[in-house]
Chains A and B, each alone.
Chain A
Amino acid sequence: MRAKYVMSEVFLGLWRNISMTVAMIITMAVSLTMLGAGLLLYNQVDVIEEYYQTNLEVVVYMQRDVTEEVSEKIGEELRASPYVKQAQYESQEEAYERFQETFAETKDLVDSVDPEVLPSAWRVEMHDINDADQLIADFAEREGVYQVTNQRDILQEVFDILGGAQRLTLVVALVQGVAALMLVANTIQVAAYSRRREVAIMKLVGAPNWFVQAPFVLEAVFAGVIGSIFAFATLIAAKFLVIDGQFSNLFSLMPPITMQSILILLPILTGISAVISAITAWITLRFNIKV
C-alpha cells in the first residue's frame, strides 16, 4: 500500500516537472559517460603497463658502419652486465623485416626505406626494467654505439597522452556532475514546493520522516539510474562506432578495450549516480522540509 503510494508519487513528481527531469537525466548521462570513459582509460593504462612490463626492452642501436668485431664486443659486455638477463642481436636485415611487419599497411613508407638505412641493434632484456637508466649510462658513450633507447620512455609518452585524456574526461565529468547535482537539488526543491500540502499533512498526522522523504529521494535516484543507463549505452556505442569502427587503426596500437571492462561499468556508474543523487536529494530535503 505504502510502496504503491510512494511509487505513484515518484512518477507523478517526475512527470509534473518533466523538462527539469529531462535536463537532469541528460546532464547526469553526460557526466557519467565522461566518468565511465575516464575509468576505462585508467583501466587501459593498467592493461598496457601489464602488457608491456614483461616485454619491455632496452635497445642498443649500433652505428651503421660498425664492424662485426666491435658489435660482438658490445654484445659480450652487455651479457656480462649484472642488469641484463638476455641480449639478442638484430641484424640490419632482421630490422628491416621487423620494420616491414610493423608498417605493413603503409606500403609507401616501407618502399621509401632502404634495408641499409636501418641500424643493427642489440635487443636487451633486463632483469628489472627500472635499472635501464644505469645500463644506458654505461653503454651510450661506447664506441660503435649509435643510440640506446629505453622502450619504456616511448611508452611513457603513450601514458602521458592517456593520462591527459583521462584528466580531461574526469574534469568534464566533475563539472557536469556538479551541474547535474544542482539540477537534482533544484528539482527536489520544486517537487517539495508543489507537494507542500501533502508534506504538511503527512507531518501533522505523524508520518515517519523516511516516508515523507522517500518520494523525493527516489525521484532523484530514478533520474540517476536512467542517466547511468544512457551513459552506459553511450559507452557501448562508442566502443562499436569509434574504437572498433572509424578509428580502429588508431586504437589498434594499444591492447583492445574489452567488452567486459565496459560491462563492469554499468553497476559502477549506476551505483555511483544512485548514491550521490540520493545523498544530494536528502541533504536538499533537510533544508526544505523541517520536522
Chain B
Amino acid sequence: MGRLTMRASTVRAKSSRDPFAHVTYGAETAEYATLVLEPPDRLRTSAVRLRLVIQLEGVTKHYPRSNRPSVEDVNVFIDKGEFVFFIGPTGAGKSTMIKLLLREEVPDKGTITVGETDVTKLRRWKVPAYRRSIGCVFQDFRLLPNRTAAENVAFALEVIGKPRSVARRVVPEVLELVGLGGKEHRYPHELSGGEQQRVAVARAFVNRPLLLLADEPTGNLDPDTSIEIMRLLDRISRTGTTILMVTHDSNIVNQMRRRVIEIENGQIVRDQARGVYG
C-alpha cells in the first residue's frame, strides 16, 4: 500500500488529469502494481458536489414468482459527478438496482429520484424521455452489427429525433473523445472488444447524460483493455457525469479508490468513500 501511495505522488506530478497517464504499454502493461489511480482531488470534487443525482430511499423490490434477486430497504444517495462502484456476489441484487434506476422495474416500496425526476411516479409514456438522461454501457456492448461505429452512435441521436446536422457535428467529436478517431466507418466486427466498448461508451455519452450506468463494462475485456476503458470512464466522470459501475473486477476497484457500495442479499452491507474491493 505504501508503495502505491508513493507511486501516486509521482504520478500526480506527471499528470493530475489522467490517472492512467503513467500506464505504459508493452511488457509491463499487465502489471497492476504499476497502475495507480488517484481519486479526483478534493477541491474539484467539492466544487461539483452541487446536488444529489440519485436518491434511493427505502427501496424494496421482490419478485414473488421468480427467484430473481430482490432488494430490501436500500438507501443510497449519490452526488453529481461521483464515481461509484457497485460490488457484491452474483445474485445480490446489483442488476435489479440498475433495472430500477432505468425504470425497467418499479419498486414495491420506497422512492427513487434521479436528477429532478421521481422515477417511482413516472408515467409510462414519460419513460423514454427519462431514459435520455441516462447513458448505459453493458458487458456485451450491445451494438448494432449492421451499422458502423459512427452510425451506432448516430442511432442514439436519430431515434430521439435529433436532426442529422447535429449527428454530423457531434458524432465525430465523441468518437474522437473515446479514442476512435479514424475508425468511424468500421463495423463492430472489424473492431476489437475494447474498441467496441468505446463505441458503446460514445453512444452512452453522446447525449451528455446526467448519469452513466455501466453494468460490468470490463467483464468481457482483457486487463489492458479494461484499463483503457476505465481511463475513459474516469475522463467522462470528470466532465461532471455521475457514473455508477457494477463490477466484479477487484483490481480496478482497488486501484481506482472510489466510493464502493457493497450489496449482499439485496441489502447494502458497506458504503465506503474510498473503498477497496474487500
Residues of chain A having any CB pair with chain B under 8 Å: 1-2, 5, 197-198, 200-209, 211, 291
* Contact, CB under 8 Å: A206 / B130: yes
In the complex, what's the smallest C-beta–C-beta distance from A44 to chain B, in angstroms?
47
A170 nearest CB across to chain B (Å): 38
Interchain CB contact under 8 A, A201 and B125: no
Contact A205 B155 (CB under 8 A): yes
A204 contacts B128, CB within 8 Å? no
Q: Are A201 and B131 in contact (CB under 8 A)?
A: no
Q: Is the beta-carbon distance between A206 and B161 smaller than 8 angstroms?
A: no
- Size category, B interface: 20 to 34
Q: Are B144 and A208 in contact (CB under 8 A)?
A: no
Secondary structure class of chain A's binding surface, majority of residues:
helix
Which residues of chain B in 137-161 are interfacial with respect to chain A, using CB atoms and an 8 Å cutoff?
Answer: 142, 144-145, 155-156, 158-161
The answer to whether the Cβ of B129 comes within 8 Å of any Cβ in the partner chain is yes
By a CB distance below 8 angstroms, the chain B residues around A205 are 131-132, 136, 155-156, 159-160, 203, 207
The docked-state distance in angstroms from the alpha carbon of A209 to that of B159 is 10
| A1→B159 contact, CB < 8 A | no
Contact A201 B142 (CB under 8 A): yes
Chain A: which residue is nearest B167 at the CB level?
A1
Q: Which of A2, A198, A209 contacts B128 (CB 8 A)?
A: A209
Closest Cβ of chain B: how far from A207's Cβ, in Å?
4
User: How far, in Å, is B122 (CB) from chain A's closest CB?
Assistant: 10
**Identity of the chain A residue whose Cβ is nearest the Cβ of B206 in the assembled complex:** A205
Q: From residue A65, how far is it (CB to closest CB) to chain B in Å?
A: 86
A-B pairs, top 8 by smallest CB distance, nearest first, are A206-B132, A207-B159, A206-B131, A205-B156, A206-B128, A208-B128, A1-B164, A202-B159
Q: Report Cα–Cα, A208/B145, bound state, in Å.
A: 22
Nearest CB in chain B: distance from A285 CB, A: 14
Closest to B136 in A: A204
Q: How far is the CA of A5 from the CA of B144 in the complex (A)?
A: 14
Shortest distance in angstroms between A60's beta carbon and chain B's nearest beta carbon?
73
Cα-based distance from A140 to B130 in the complex (angstroms): 84
- Residue from B127, B130, B159 having most chain A Cβ neighbours under 10 A: B159
